Amino acid sequence: MTGLQERLRRDRLLRWCVLAPLPALWLAVAFADAAVLVLVPLAVLLVAALFRYGPLDRFERPDELL
C-alpha cells in the first residue's frame, strides 16, 4: 500500500470509531429526556441549512482591531 492509501484507510477507521457510538449515545440520553429525540435532529437540520445558505459569506469581514 502506498502512504496515501494507508492514510485514507486510517482516517476512515478513525471516522467510524468516532461516529459509530453516536446513535447509541443519542438514544441513551434520549431515554433520560424525550425532548432530545426531537431537539437534536432539529439542531442538526438547522446547522445544515445555515451552512447551505452561507449567511456568514454574505457579509464582509470586519477590519482587525489594533
Lookup result for grid cell 445544515: 48
The answer to whether the CB of 36 falls within 8 A of the CB of 29 is yes
Amino acid at 25: L
Beta strands in 1-66 (DSSP E): none
Q: What is the mean pLDDT of residues 40-56?
A: 83
Q: What is the mean pLDDT of residues 36-40?
A: 82
- What is the reported pLDDT for 4? 62
3-class DSSP state of 19:
helix
Cell of 14: 478513525
Segment 3-26, tens digit of pLDDT: 766 775 777 777 787 788 888 888
* The pLDDT value given to residue 45: 92
Looking at residue 63, its pLDDT comes to: 73
For residue 48, give the 3-state DSSP assignment: helix
